[in-house]
Structure 1
């Protein structure tokens, strides 16, 4: 028998089955666990949550006279009921924390997360296609690991996920948007819990594509108008799936439903005006588009990261300007992997960021436009150099293939 008790009644050794209130309001990344640590117990008692559900069959029970008892299998409240979108608050001007690791030091862990994320999302999509309810809580450990990687270095996982293969796009797009949302939340000075919720929203935002016909979803060419109409239904289908699962926050539900809305009111499915689009949905719109246009697809090659940022900046009415500005800061004006031309005439690949000098990243010089000859790759910190970036370059123009090997090395996903 599951029992609902007050937080004050919780003691060490109890198995927590569910937490009342919103996931974002509690101090844990999971909601099914045994309270074994006095510090965790103190966090729970200080959380202000209205109550918890315990499972006495998997942990300690409470004394006689406990309130509300529910039979095993009874429907429990969702972690938070869906609610309307609210207008975003202005981001803080305070700088985000400095990365704890260099990109090179974080790449190996980010590579392992890349593989784990693909497997998790592929399994989730497969279950959704079979009509099974999606348990969003199963994604929380992955979201937590992705968030920790982004906190250590925002560029590592974000850059790796951009290298997804065409066959992996549907699954890795979800992992990429998760990482991008965490990085953006960090730049907007959201709390760690809010960043995790943003990450979960990113991981789940395209779940509705699991309900799309595979011949439309994987079509290697431009969609016809009727096919595009079908694809435009994926936000609502995803919302319905997540609502049925009953374990996802209102914020994640909102991003799933409204990540294709635009500030000028021309988006879908509800053509919401900008002041009716939530902060999380505004964040989701930017992250979703950036990963889509920088990724290789069956019908087109992805754009260069720096070129993509420039193109998105020119799309008036599409994105919230403040959120987009924060997004650019989270990636860098010249994201990792960008090919740039230096004042010296050298071509270089961006290999890491200088958070305090966005226009002066760390690059690796590879080619001289003056001699038209390759150079021995040399790392150059432009914040400590007299050289500087004077423009972006298209790798295809120069015939450069697999530039990712210059910054990701063996961590780069293998092309199949």
Structure 2
């Protein structure tokens, strides 16, 4: 899973490149399987063949091709090629990238695949824990701990931590994805709010079970069968789900009281307009205030009420606009850590490439890692550009799915369900 080769203009040739000439029927003295450009004489011979481009093999090259910026400075030394008036297949975007970006891409793709496998295992544990609550025993906390414990360790480690976007493979109910999303985002925020490891784990545990009180409405609640009554009963039952969930978890041996309080209060708001207790200000537990921010954001992002789907960028803007009754410090830190372009956001970079943010860097949220589209690079080997390495590049704008051409959208493959998971950044 790496970039084996990519086309470059012949004007970008220089000694030290390993290239391959793909021109069936053309007679030339160079090996068909590829060769190293040894000197300027080789460059002259290749250019004399009249080819518009050749293929560069980065893993076998001692350097990157000459960038387009360098070519502009050498216009008097070499004849201008089609780069001056047309966009080339790959080199216009890739020639200016640092060698580290190309070299580390294989590792980044492989690490992301490992992270996806860990996410799948975590999701299995989430489903197991949520299902066990109906018959409470110690296994409930054990299953939850296998998800929450490692994430707390990760957030508190000295490693650079990433929040990765996962391509959710829909199975069973979407509530499982929502539960893990809220747990990941709440633990991230709890760490930023200065909580200790045990407290972060309590926030994670409570967040994982925050909606456990939702379920089938008892049939006896429907005294009449008309739609008005049904709508009223459903709303009333929804308003009760924090109490129902907290009561269920009280029966779980050893379930942390702080986590239980989070479940009870995660819909409470600082201005007293929340439910079920209409608590105000400091009467709302810190864990509940943290989970409320993560819960609101994920509901904006992954709406289930039939409202138009929001991109992560739009969900973050919606959270900011409706921040009033939420904890102001929690909202500020949440936005600062995930950034204006959270994982899953479709963006355009300053070099014109379009891509999807695949991970947010917790140390510099304005410089995430972006998987970019390029028609000449297979999707399974898609280039991931880390903006903390490519410091000359920036995100210039956020995009919606309908802003992209169909082939670009298919290549980037943003999921309808956006899910998050935590991982350590690769070491330099």
Whether the TM-score (by the shorter chain) exceeds 0.5 is: yes
Alignment of 1:361-372 (within 5 A): 361-366=368-373
Which of residues 194, 201, 205 in structure 2 aligns to 1:200?
205
> Offset at 1:297?
3.8
Q: State the shift of 1:239 in Å.
A: 0.6
Q: TM-score, normalised by structure 1?
A: 0.60
Deviation at 1:325, TM superposition (A): 1.6
CA distance in 2, matches of 1:352, 1:115: 17
2:120 corresponds in structure 1 to 115
1:252 CA drift (Å): 0.4
- Call closer, same or farther: CA 1:267–1:104 in 2, change over 3 Å: farther
Q: Distance in 2 between matches of 1:292 and 1:406?
A: 17
Q: 2:292 maps to what in 1? A: 285
Q: CA deviation at 1:224?
A: 3.1
**In the alignment, is residue 336 of structure 1 matched against residue 340 of structure 2?**
no
CA-CA distance at 1:126 after TM superposition: 3.4
SS at 2:347 equivalent: strand
1:133 aligns with 2:139: no
Q: Relative to 1, partners in 2 of residues 1:134 and 1:235: Cα closer, same or farther, differing over 3 Å? A: farther
Correspondences of 1:122-271 after superposition (within 5 Å): 122-129=127-134, 132-135=135-138, 136-138=140-142, 139-148=144-153, 154-156=161-163, 159-160=165-166, 163=168, 165=170, 167-210=172-215, 212=217, 224-271=231-278
Q: Secondary structure at the match of 1:159?
A: strand
Q: Alpha-carbon deviation of 1:264?
A: 2.2
Deviation of residue 228 (structure 1)? 2.0
CA distance in 2, matches of 1:317, 1:350: 28
How far is 1:237 from its partner?
Answer: 0.2
Q: State the partner residue of 2:312.
A: 305
Deviation per CA, 1:269-318: give whole Å up to 9, x if none.
11111232121111110111222232364845642112111110000423
Structure 1 distance, partners of 2:352, 2:283, is 48
2: CA distance, partners of 1:319 / 1:166: 32
Cα distance change, pair 119–362 in 1 and its aligned pair in 2 (3 A): closer
The CA deviation at 1:208 is 0.8
CA contact (8 A) 2:343 2:360 kept: yes
- Structure 2 contact 217–234 (Cα < 8 Å) conserved: no
* Gaps in structure 1 of 5+ consecutive residues: 1-101, 217-222, 368-373
Measure, in 2, the Cα distance between the counterparts of 1:412 and 1:260: 22
- For residues 31-54 of structure 1, what are the alpha-carbon distances to aligned partners after superposition, in whole Å with 9 as ceiling and x for unaligned? xxxxxxxxxxxxxxxxxxxxxxxx
Q: Gaps spanning 5+ residues in structure 2: where?
A: 1-106, 222-229, 422-428
Q: 1:254 deviation in Å? A: 1.0
Shift in Å, 1:144? 1.2
Contact 2:339 2:365 in 1 (8 A): yes
Query: How high is the TM-score relative to the length of structure 2?
Result: 0.59
Give the distance between the partners of 1:242 and 1:364, measured in 2 at CA: 41
Matched ranges for 1:1-16 at <5 A:
none
Query: Taking CA–CA contacts closer than 8 Å with sequence separation of 6 or more, which of the two structures ends up with the larger relative contact order?
Result: 2
- 1:356-395 alignment runs, 5 A limit: 356-366=363-373, 376=377, 378-383=383-388, 384-395=390-401
Kept after mapping to 1: 8 A contact 2:300/2:318: no
Distance across 2 between alignment mates of 1:404 and 1:297? 23
Structure 1 partner of 2:103: none
Map 1:34-45; keep pairs closer than 5 Å: none
CA RMSD of aligned residues (A): 3.5
Residues 53-93 of structure 1 show CA distances to partners (whole Å, capped at 9, x for unaligned) of xxxxxxxxxxxxxxxxxxxxxxxxxxxxxxxxxxxxxxxxx
Q: Aligned equivalents of 1:213 and 1:159: distance in 2?
A: 37
Larger Rg: 2
1:121–1:406: structure 2 CA closer, same or farther, 3 Å change rule? closer
Contact 1:111–1:412 under 8 Å retained in 2: no
Residue of structure 2 equivalent to 1:70 = none
User: What number of residue pairs does the alignment pair up?
Assistant: 292
